[in-house]
Amino acid sequence: MSARAPSGTSRLLRELRSLRVLLVHPDDADGQELRAQLQRIGCQVRAFWPPTDKPPEDADIVFFAMPPVIAVVTYEDPTTVEAVLRLNTFAVIPSPVKSFGLLSAVAVALNQAQKGSEREKYICRLEQRLAAQRKISKAKSILMQSRNLSEDEAYQVIRDQAMSHRATTEEIADAVIKANDILGLDVKQKK
């Protein structure tokens, strides 16, 4: 194993020091220990109890509230595990809270939350591309039937128009579809 941590890990550990942590926990020994450990890591901790319906939105990590959630569990049983899963927790720390494992739990939760956010953005981009491809496909079908073109020729028309109008192929496809709808050409699509 290399003595040097990968740059992504180093960046993540540096980010831990600037985290705004919201701690929703009774002010008991566990709550105080958890707060102290988070402050030792360098996190900016705000603690309150009892929980409210909607926690403040300016937190990076929330302990026992909204994502990324780090659950503090007293014991393991099927009901507790089910609750932890239902809360969509990113990490779990045992009660009574000790310093061991807290840094790892915070790092894992932050890492998983960031990866989840990146996945959501990626999925959104894929959905947009898929919608664009459907639109282009529909416009090609309209051009193929209204102008008696092959699929390649129809796409070339869309592409040429996009280049000459400094627009995207999706924008041209949208214009073709709208023009078809406005003119009422009633071109039926092949399925």
Residue by residue, DSSP assigns 53-93 as SS--S--SEEETSSSSEEEEES---HHHHHHHHHTTEEEEE
Instruction: Name the CATH superfamily for 9-100.
Output: Response regulator (3.40.50.2300)
Q: Which two tokens stand for residue 168?
A: 């995207």
Residues, the chain, total?
A: 191
| pLDDT, tens digit (0-9, with 9 covering 90-100), for 109-135 | 888 888 887 888 898 899 999 999 999
Whether residue 140 contacts residue 103, with contact meaning beta carbons closer than 8 Å, is answered with: no
Domain regions of the chain by residue span? 9-100, 123-183
For residue 69, how many C-alpha atoms fall within 13 Å in the half-sphere facing its CB? 17
Burial of 126 (0-12, 13-18, 19+ CB in 10 A): exposed
Of all residues in the chain, the percent with pLDDT exceeding 90 is 28
What is the structure's pLDDT at 160?
A: 95
Identify the residue with better confidence: 30 or 157: 157
| Whether this model's pTM surpasses 0.85 | no
Asked whether the CA dihedral 179, 181, 184, 186 is positive or negative, the reply is positive
pLDDT tops 80 at residue 50: no
Q: Which two tokens stand for residue 155?
A: 């796409």
Whether residue 38 contacts residue 70, with contact meaning beta carbons closer than 8 Å, is answered with: no
Average pLDDT value over all residues in the chain? 81
Burial of 74 (0-12, 13-18, 19+ CB in 10 A): exposed
Distances (CA, A) of 117 to 37, 60, 68, 163: 27, 13, 11, 34
CA distance 190 to 85: 45
CA distance 63 to 76: 18
State mean pLDDT over 63-92: 77
What is the structure's pLDDT at 1?
A: 44
Identify the residue with better confidence: 80 or 173: 173
Q: Do domains 9-100 and 123-183 have the same CATH topology?
A: no
Predicted confidence band of residue 137 (pLDDT cuts 50, 70, 90): very high
Which overall architecture, per CATH, does domain 123-183 show?
A: Orthogonal Bundle (1.10)
